[in-house]
Every structure is written in structure tokens, then in C-alpha cells.
Structure 1
Amino acid sequence: MTETAPLPESTLIRICRRPVPERLVRRARLHLLDWLGCILAARHCDAARAMARAVGPDDGDLLRAGLASTPHDAQRAALCFGTLGNVLEMDDLDRASILHPGDTICAAALAAALERPVPGPALLTALVRGYEAAIRIGRVAASGGYTPFYNSGTCGVFGAALAAAEVRTLAEAQIADVLAQAGMQAAGIWQCRLEPGFSKQLATAQAARAGVFAAELAAAGFTGPRAILTGEMGFFASYYPGADPARLTDAPGPQDWALSEMSFKPFPACRHTHPAISALVEIRPSIAPAGVQRVDIHTYRAAIEFCDAPHPTTPGAARFSLQHAAAIALLRGAPSLADFEGDALSDPTIAALRDKVHLATDPGIDAAFPRGYGARITVTGSDGATESAACPEAWGDPENPMSEADLVAKFLANARHGGVGADAAEALRDAVLALPDAPDTSRLRDAFAAALSPVPEYARCP
């Protein structure tokens, strides 16, 4: 009698649940800190207010509503937390999967971890394993580049579900049901990037909530299909029919875990703008912006499809504008949140420089996408002289990483943008960084609650 080969789903579960090295546990705390900064910075934005009205908190603060839900309703908490990570375009990224895992996985794991106290290392281990699942699934899905589906929603739900299941300490036999019920709830299509609105935020919010729900269902004995990913009518066949599911269970690479290959975003703009920003910041000291006659950006096709917006009129449009990002980088250096809001959108000097930016596809850079996100820049002055730079890996990529100090500074700046006082922000920073040695998440809960304390209206950032 011959043995039946294990399903790829079973192998995936075993890969994701192998022992996590200490260095990855410590790295996971930086992803959690980075994501917390992103949601704090966005807590007073229009999407937050709209979702708050929908979920019904008394005071209209979406994050406080999420925290208040955690003793009894982790799904609602995950929905609240999962709404805001992608608003300001500063969320973490895995290039090969075109996926922002933190938006869904951190939201689901935090909601589950605050529902009942869990050891700090357990929360961080859950994040590492959730990232592994989502990224492996996402890399199969994105093997041909972009599709009509928004991978952060459709693939992120699996990572959110596994992370929530790990926080709840579900048995390995239950994890198959966790993935099954996550797959039944996978959702998110890219029409949301073609029209204004908050549906992109809904996609990550729903994936985070669905991930928690999938873990709750599995814990209750609610069973599902074991071949949810690779079956003949499963996730890949239905959503990504051109993908090769054989890659799902590839042996771990030289870095062992997908989390090691993640990118952070130092600039509050679409990741497709970051190589151009990095290159322009590099050559800016040798350029007089007033004398610039032409800026040529050679990059990959997807970057142009997403970010060819020479005349942005809203903060969201500016964050998806290569022209605006280039003008800011030349005039001001590394962009900040304020450079994509308010007066920066109508500043005549910025507008004039935007009009001098020209985009073109570079075949070599395009062939490297999605595993590589690069750009090549040439700036021509009034005298015809040129300055050029290439950026195969932007600042924040694993080949050109942000330091822990860089990430802490980003978190504190984002917290400040969200109206969090310095003392509260530093206490939350310290609570997150201490998680590898924390006996439970009570200190994290207290620090998060203090950071969300009401602030005067005049102190709130736009």
C-alpha cells in the first residue's frame, strides 16, 4: 500500500510552524512598532472617521474603539486596527509578493493578543509565522506581476489567520481549518486604486477581521477544505490561475524566513516612488533646483501605471505621483508627511518642477520586477549638463536597510503626527521593544491605551 503524498497546504503549515530563531523574534518587534506608527499617524484621517461612524464608538476614535473591544470582541478590534495601516503609504512591503503584510497580520495578532494576556515572545513568534504564510502565498500569486486582485487583502488574510491562531495556541490539526476558513473569506480587487474612496482600507480591515474569525471558527471545530489553496477549485485556481502553486513549499532561502526579506518604507508615498526618491536625494547636493530643465525617470512599467500623476490635487493622489515625489526630493530632500498634504499640493514651485518630470520604462529594470524595484534618474540643467543616479534597491530594502534607530525615529514622527504626546509615544515604543522579554502583553496594552488618550482638537495633525 503506497502512502499518499501530503497536501502542499500541510507542508506549508509545517514550514510556517518550525522553530523561530531569536533574531527573527526581535526583528518582528520592529515590524509591529512600524505598523503601530502608521496607524497612529492616520487615526484622525477621513477613512478613520468614516469607519468609526460605521462601527459606532461613542467618541469617534477608531483605535480607541478597537482597544475597547479587545476584552470581548477581537474581530471588531482587528477591523478597527486593520483599517489604517495603508492610509499614509508607509506600510511594510515584501517586493516579490507585492504584499503589505503588516496591515493585516499585525492588526489580527494584536487584536488576539489583547483579548487575553499572552507572553510577548508568543505574540512576536505569531507575527513571524503569519508573515511566512502570507508571503509564501503572495509570491505564488504575484509570480506574473500584478493581477486584478489586491494581494494585501486576498493573500494577507491567510497570514492574519495563522498569526491569530498562533496567538490562541491552536493545535496543528486545527491550523488546516484556519487556512480553509481564511481562504473562504479572501477578498479585494484593484478597482479601488482607480477611483477615490476608502475601499483599499476596507480590504485590509476585512482581511484582519476575517483572519481572527477564521481562528475562532477553527477553535470551535468549524471545519473546511484541506486543499483550499491548491485544489482544482481552490484559491490559486480561482484567483490566480496563471500561478504555479509548486513554489508554495519551496525550501527556505538563505535568509531562512520571509520576514528577513521585508522592506520598510521611510517615505510616506507609494513604494513604487521610493527608488526614484532615493536616487534624487543622493544627487540633490550637486543640483540647483531652480536651474533644472528636465528630470527623466526610467523605471519599471508597474511604477508608471500606478504613479503617473503629474497634477495631484489630493494627498492620496500626491502619494501616488512620481512627478510630485521627484519634485519634493529635489526641492526639499527626503519627503515627510507634510510634503504630500496642504500647501505642498498647490505650491507653484513644486508644480513647475512636476511639469519637468518625464517617465519612461526601462526594459532591464522592468524585467526585474516584482523581485526588484529600481529606478534610473537623469537631471538636466539649464546649461545642458546632466547628473545621473541609479537605485536598484531603495533605502528600506533589505539590501539597503533602515536601522533600528531609523525605524524608531519614524515611529515617533508618525505618533507625533497622530497627536500622541512625546511621553506616551516613548512609553509605547519601550513596551514594544521590550516584548521579547515581556511575560505578557499588559504593558503593551497600557502603553497603547495611554497613547490613544484624547488629545485637544488643536493638537491633532490633519
Structure 2
Amino acid sequence: MFSLTQQLVVLLRRPISPADRQRAAQHLLDWLGCSVLGVRSNAGEKFLSLLQSLATDGPCTVLAHDAVDWQSALWVNAAIGNIEEMDDVHRTSVLHPGPVVIPAAIAAAQRLAASPQQLLDSIVIGYEAMIRIGQSLGPDHYRFYHNTATCGSFGSAAAVASLLGLTDEQFVWALGNAGSRTGGLWQMRHEVVDSKQFHTVDAALTGSLVAYAAESGVRGPAAILEGPQGLFAATSPEAVGERVLAPEADWLMWQCSFKPWPACRHVHATIDACQRLVVRRPLSDIQRIEVRTYRDALVFCDRSQPQNTLQAKFSLQHAVAVCLLHGAPQLSHFNEGCFQDPIIDRLRGQVQVTECEAFQRAYPNHFGASVTLTFADGSSTSEEVSDAWGDPENPLSGEELTDKANTLMRAAGVPEAQRQQLINATLALPDANSLDPWLQQWPTSTGAFE
């Protein structure tokens, strides 16, 4: 009887097409845009400062820093991709693959002098492992565990195992040991801390280490998922193991969503509903604002009085107020000057958030929300969306995805010529002969930013 992990490795050996590699390049571009801006943040500076005492010279590229050893590169590159809350997301697994899988794959690809095609293939495979295990976990897991952290080590292990060319047995060992060390508790949401960045760092580093260890013969448990003291038994008794092996026509990367707005994904459907509203009267006429959405959006984002930028990004009330006052939300709308604005504060106070049974039934296959404005004269207007912008049913176009990356890099201070060169080089990776010309376009010192 083969374990779930053994059968998963067989699925990870499927052919990867040129279209799949092009999709991987888009996710790589999306991660770069988020990371270039993330490394310029206060949180990014903290992880950069670690390099001063930990790093040694090496072959691996770090944003805003000189080349260092592969582990130090992971410390920064895996920490910065989710800081701005614009990283890619997979809905039914409720996790963000890019910030974990991509830094691990890049570090290993540089260490092993891999080709661009091998890098892209490893990203496809890492996403697949991470998502398949994530979608098998039940909602009981997500109540306490950060799925990006608990499943991320599987994704990074699979990506690095692919680049190393591990045998099936070694691949199983890597995944088994990744699962034996996984973790990431949600308690961080209740305090002003940087643990979310550390979660992605630890997942990327753990997965990488167990893959290298497996190459050296370090064995791992094959039944780490379904075993009597495995991941499911310990962290998710409601898990459905069959979902690890669910048949799919395409690689699950194609089911991932790109985030257009600089806020938690649970806020995006509400933002989209606000964008559809047509309000032809002063905002002072609004008497009540009602947001109806699914339960997890309330659990994570019912926050009427955000006290910092991160809390503003996790506030349904703040997102609604920003949209009504400014239209499409921009990066600056979640900064201190905006979330302390008295007009924004007044609008936030009018927002009531409630769970909607229909949206809850559709979740997590669909992230939906409605927004209703009721005016002083008793009239009202309402809009709803079933799928947030950027989801597969409502996708960003290639041009919109490129515009997002360009906007984030511009906000970080990357000069226009360098932005265009980096974007073009990233999207050209499926047909490139070497990673070096692409890596040479990275802004790898503070002097590369305006």
C-alpha cells in the first residue's frame, strides 16, 4: 500500500508544457514586484540587517544586497514577498505559494547553476505539492494554523527536490521530513509582530534543508500526512486525504489568484463590490453601510479601528471607507496618514459587517461579498461580487499583471529603464538560455533605488 506522499511524488512527475512555464514566469514576476517593494519596508530592513551578522559571500542573489550564501539569501528573499499583502493566493488551500516556493527555488537554482526552464519547472512542482496538501486540510486546521507556513515546507521541499533530481524515494524522504517539522500558529494576528514574515522564511528554509538532506540519504516518514501521529491526526482531524491526489487537468498553479489590491485577500471581494457602486450624492448622506461576506473574512478582517498599516490592510471597514472616499485603493491609503484621517474614521464607524450564508456556502471555492449603502432618505444601493478580481473566474490580464509589477517597483524607487528590463527579462525566462542576464537586472544594492 503506497502512502499519500509516495503517490503525490508520482503526480509531481507529470509533464510541464511551455504554457505552464510561461505561467510560472508570471508568478515569478508577481513575486518580484511584491518583494522589491517589501524589501524597502521597515520589516524588510529588519531582515536585511540580519545579513550583517549572518551572511557570507556566495552565489545567491538578494534584493537590495550583495550576493551571499544560499541560506542568507533565503532569509531575506523569503521574508519580503508577503509584506505588502499582495502575494498570490490559492483559494481552496487558503495559502500563498509564491513567498515560500519561489525564493527556495531561486536559491537552489543559483546554487546548482540550473537553467531557466529548470527553475520554472521547480516552481510549478513546488506550487503543486504545497497546494495539494493545503487543500486536503480541513477548516479546523486554518482556525489555528497559518496554512502558508504549515504547507510551505512541502512546497519548498518539492521545488528543491526537483532541481536536485532526487529519486522517488529521496523525494518522499524530503516531503516526509518537511512535514515532520512544519508549523505556524495564528497567534501572531493578535499582536503587533513580524512573525508572518518569519513563517515564510522558516517554511522556505526547512523545505530546502530537508531536500538537500534527502540527497545525502537522510530518510523521512512516508506516511507523514495520514499516519497515526502525522500531520492530519495532529493538526486537522477534518482533513480529507483524497484531495492530495485529486485528478486535475492542469497544474494547480493555474487555479491561483493574483491580488490587485494592497490588502488581505479576504478584503478584496468587498473592495470590488465597492468599485461597482455608483454614488451620486454626498457621502454625508450615507446613514449605514453593510458588508455581507463569508465567515473567514470576518474572523480575519473585522477591524473597525486599525492602529497600524498592517491592521489597515486587514480591515473590511477601512477598505470600504477608502473606496468610498478615494475610489480604487492605492498603497498610500493604508499608511498612517490615511487610516488616522477623521473622515475615513467616520466612514469606518458606519460600516456593519455580517456573515452571509450564501457566500459562506460558496467559500473557499469562491470569495464573495456584497456592499449596501443606505441613505438618510431611506433609499439604498447595493452591489455584490461572487469572485474577487484576480481569481481565475475574474482574472487579471497579462497587461494588468505587468502594470501591477511596474507600479510596485516604481513605488520602491526602481528607475523606469531598470523596471522595464527586469519585467521583460522575467517574462522571457521560458525561452532564455541562462538565468544570469535576468539576475543582473535585479536591484541588488540600495544604490539601485532612486
How does the TM-score come out when normalised to structure 2? 0.94
**Secondary structure at 1:229's aligned position in 2?**
coil
For 1:337, give the aligned amino acid: L
8 Å CA contact retained: 2:92, 2:135? yes
112-121 or 311-320, which deviates more: 112-121
8 Å contact kept, 1:140–1:248? yes
Unaligned stretches of 5+ residues in structure 2: 56-60
Per-residue deviation, residues 262-312 of structure 1 (Å, max 9, x unmatched): 111100001111000001101146564343222100011111111111111
Instruction: Name 2:201's counterpart in structure 1.
Output: 205
Partner of 1:454: 446
Please report how far the alpha carbon of residue 54 of structure 1 lies from its aligned counterpart in structure 2 after TM superposition. 3.0
State the Cα distance separating 1:348 from its structure 2 match.
Answer: 1.7
Return 122-131 or 374-383, whichever deviates more: 374-383
Q: How does 1:189-268 map to 2 (within 5 A)?
A: 189-252=185-248, 255-268=249-262
Question: Are the equivalent residues in 2 in contact too, given 1:419–1:455 (CA < 8 A)?
Answer: no
State the secondary structure of the residue aligned to 2:217.
coil
User: Which of the residues 409, 418, 430 maps onto 1:424?
Assistant: 418
User: Cα gap change, 1:242/1:77 in structure 2, threshold over 3 Å: closer, same or farther?
Assistant: same
Q: Name the TM-score, length of structure 1 as normaliser.
A: 0.92
Q: 1:66 to 1:236 in 2, by over 3 A?
A: farther
AA in 2 matched with 1:397 = D
**C-alpha distance in 1 between matches for 2:374 and 2:206:** 50
Counterparts of residues 10-409 of structure 1 (less than 5 Å)? 10-56=6-52, 63-64=62-63, 68-69=67-68, 73-142=69-138, 146-252=142-248, 255-284=249-278, 286=280, 288-409=282-403
CA contact 1:66–1:76 (8 Å) conserved in 2 = no
Is contact 1:97-1:135 (8 Å) kept?
yes
CA offset at residue 31 of structure 1?
0.6
Q: 1:170, 1:44 → 2: CA distance?
A: 36
Change (3 A) 1:453 1:67: closer
Q: Structure 1's 342 and 143: CA in aligned 2 closer, same or farther, altered over 3 A?
A: closer
Percent identity between the two aligned chains: 38
Residues 49-77 of structure 1 deviation map (CA, whole Å, 9 limit, x = unaligned): 22223342699xx94477612xxx32221
Q: Is the 8 A contact 2:301 2:316 kept in 1?
A: yes
| Structure 1: tracts of 5 or more residues without a match | none
Whether the aligned pair in 1 keeps the contact of 2:66 and 2:444 (CA below 8 Å) is no
Letter in 1 for 2:145: F
- Contact 2:63/2:77 (<8 A) preserved: no
- Report deviation, 1:165: 1.6
Deviations 1:92-151, CA, capped at 9 Å, x for gaps: 111101100111001111111122322212111111111111000000114557231111
Q: How many residues align?
A: 445
What is the alpha-carbon root mean square deviation over aligned residues? 2.0
Q: Distance in 1 between matches of 2:148 and 2:203?
A: 8
Give CA deviations for 1:310-342 in whole Å, capped at 9, x if unaligned. Answer: 111210110011010001111111111111003
Q: Which residue identity lines up with residue 42 of structure 2 in the other structure?
A: D
Tell whether the 8 Å contact from 2:39 to 2:64 is kept in structure 1 after alignment.
no
Inter-partner Cα distance in structure 2 for 1:285 and 1:215: 55
Moved over 6 A (4+): none
Q: Which residue identity does 1:374 align to in structure 2?
A: G
| Structure-2 separation of matches of 1:240 and 1:322 | 28
Question: Could you tell which deviates more after superposition, 98-107 or 225-234?
Answer: 225-234
The one-letter amino acid of 1:398's match is: P
- Residues 354-402 of structure 1: per-residue CA shift (max 9 Å, x gap): 1111111111111222222110111122332211111110100100000
